[in-house]
Amino acid sequence: MNMLNRESFLDVIRHTPLVSMDLIVTRGNNDVLLGRRLNNPARDSWFVPGGRIFKDETLVSAFARICNAELGQEYPLSTAQFRGCYEHFYADNFAGIPGISTHYVVLAYQLKLADEPLHLPTHQHDQYQWFTLADINDNPDVHEYSRSYFF
């Protein structure tokens, strides 16, 4: 997959929605894995892992790649349950340039994991935590878009 340069990617964000996948990762008693985001949009918020789908990438390939990038391990799409299609609108963008909003069309998939140790990458999130549904509901730092998957 060819990555766009910064200016081309900003132009895409300026004019079109991005298509992405969010991973609703649960374990055991339905605790949910959230990471504290390092980048805009939604910087410093607790958010479910996820990522963009690239042009000419199948959903099966995108799911495996995003799992590897966000969870440190590939999982097949066949092990996940589709939870729905969502829209996320942000007033800002990855580059912090004023006046350019970001619009995502998000395919949400739930991935149920065993209580296994994960080796989570830290390039998108500086920390991870397992949250109960009550924690998600009560913590003001959990982003509203992640919260919307549960309430």
Q: DSSP states of the chain as a string?
A: -PPPPHHHHHHHHHHSPEEEEEEEEEETTTEEEEEEE-SSSSTTSEE--EEEPPTT--HHHHHHHHHHHHHSS---GGGEEEEEEEEEEESS-TT--TT--EEEEEEEEEEEE-S-------SSEEEEEEE-HHHHHH-TTB-HHHHTTT-
pLDDT greater than 90 at residue 2: no
- Mean pLDDT for the stretch of residues 108-129: 91
Q: Which domains does the chain have, with CATH numbers?
A: 8-147 (3.90.79.10)
Q: What is the pLDDT of residues 10-52, one digit of tens each?
A: 999 999 999 999 999 999 888 999 999 999 999 999 999 999 9
